[in-house]
């Protein structure tokens, strides 16, 4: 699956996407991530990308021209939907992330900054709007990383163990519930003992215990 990310802060993504599971997924060609700097598309001689809102009010807005040119260029190389990250969008859930992974070969993710973007970009080019929760971040970059991470986990092969995403919290197999508690060695830590059933080797009893301890 391919992700094209449009942002004013490309460097923010380097570290997160260069480690651990997402790095391996990229190296194995399971996901492809390309970052596009919106500022590179500004036709202003000072590469300005923001301006004051019509009607007044606090803060600045991202202007339409650099966003339009950036998205139009990216749409030539990515035929997927344009997703704008905003607290006004549809709340991201397990099901939503899974659907994005199953239904799309690729996504274009647009990160807002300042007080937001010129509405005409939403009217002309945005297909979906996603929020990661009812709080306001300083920009859409962190939210985009959350979407790429949550969606990538559903792409076959990204998690070492194929079954993992289907047995995670919120999955259908767990009836939408949150996972049971996990323990690893040692058997006793700070006086707290691992439940005996988990050390019994009795798989039926272990499965029963886990089912009873879904949250
Ligand atoms: N940009 C700022 N806040 C956000 C949020 N909660 N979700 C998605 N994008 C955002």
Residues contacting ligand 1 via CB (< 6 Å):
85-87, 112, 131-133, 135-137, 140, 143
Element (H, E) at 145: helix 141-152
Q: What CATH number corresponds to the domain at position 81?
A: 3.40.1280.10
Check whether residue 167 and residue 107 sit in a common domain: no
pLDDT class of 163 with cuts at 50, 70, 90:
low
N residues, the chain: 215
Average pLDDT, stretch 30-52? 98
Residues 184 and 82 in one domain: no
Tell me what the mean pLDDT of segment 38-44 comes to. Answer: 98
Rounded to 10 deg, the angle between the 141-152 and 94-103 helix axes is 70
pLDDT of residue 162 exceeding 70, the answer is: no
Specify whether 162 is catalytic.
Answer: no
CATH number for 167:
1.10.1270.20
Would 33 be classed as within a structural domain? Answer: yes
Q: In a 3-state reduction of DSSP, which class is residue 101?
A: helix
Strand boundaries in the chain, DSSP class E: 2-7, 32-37, 50-51, 61-62, 82-91, 106-111, 128-131, 188-189, 192-193
Choose one of 131, 152, 173: the last residue of a domain: 152
Residue 9 included in any domain? yes
Tally of domains within the chain: 2
Residue 159 has pLDDT above 70, yes or no: yes
Residue nearest to atom 6 of ligand 1 (CA): 87
Token pair 């970009």 in the structure block, residue: 121
Dist CA 172 CA 133 (whole Å): 22
- Write down the catalytic residue from 87, 113, 118, 122: 87
Give the mean model confidence (pLDDT) for residues 100-126. Answer: 96
Question: Is the link from the previous residue into 50 a cis peptide, with omega within 30 of 0?
Answer: no
- Its domain, for residue 130, covers 2-152
Residues 20 and 124 in one domain: yes
Residue 153 annotated among the catalytic residues of the structure: yes
User: Per-residue pLDDT averaged across 30-49, rounded?
Assistant: 98
pLDDT digits (tens, 9 = 90+) for 88-106: 999 999 999 999 999 999 9
Residue 160 binned pLDDT confidence (cut-offs 50, 70, 90)? confident
In the annotation, is 87 catalytic? yes
Residue 26: is its pLDDT beyond 90? yes
- Atom 9 in ligand 1: residue holding the nearest Cα: 86
Residue 157 counted as domain residue: no
| pLDDT for 165 | 84
């Amino acid at each position: 699956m391919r992700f094209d990310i449009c942002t004013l802060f490309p460097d923010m993504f380097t570290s997160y996407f260069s480690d651990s599971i997402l790095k391996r997924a990229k190296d194995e060609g399971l996901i492809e991530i390309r970052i596009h700097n919106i500022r590179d598309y500004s036709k202003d001689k000072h590469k300005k990308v923001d301006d004051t809102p019509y009607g007044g009010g606090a803060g600045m807005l991202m202007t339409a021209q650099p966003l339009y040119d950036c998205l139009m260029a990216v749409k030539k190389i990515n035929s997927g939907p344009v997703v704008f990250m905003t607290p006004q969008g549809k709340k991201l859930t397990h099901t939503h992330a899974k659907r994005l992974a199953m239904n799309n070969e690729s996504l274009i993710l647009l990160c807002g900054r300042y007080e937001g973007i010129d509405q005409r970009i939403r009217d002309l080019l945005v297909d979906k709007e996603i929020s990661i929760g009812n709080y306001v971040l300083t920009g859409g970059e962190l939210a985009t990383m959350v979407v790429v991470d949550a969606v990538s986990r559903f792409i076959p092969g990204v998690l070492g163990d194929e079954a993992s995403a289907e047995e995670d919290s919120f999955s259908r197999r767990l009836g939408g519930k949150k996972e049971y508690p996990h323990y690893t060695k040692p058997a006793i830590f700070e006086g707290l003992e691992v439940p005996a059933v988990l050390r019994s080797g009795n798989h039926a009893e272990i499965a029963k215990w886990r089912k009873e301890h879904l949250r």
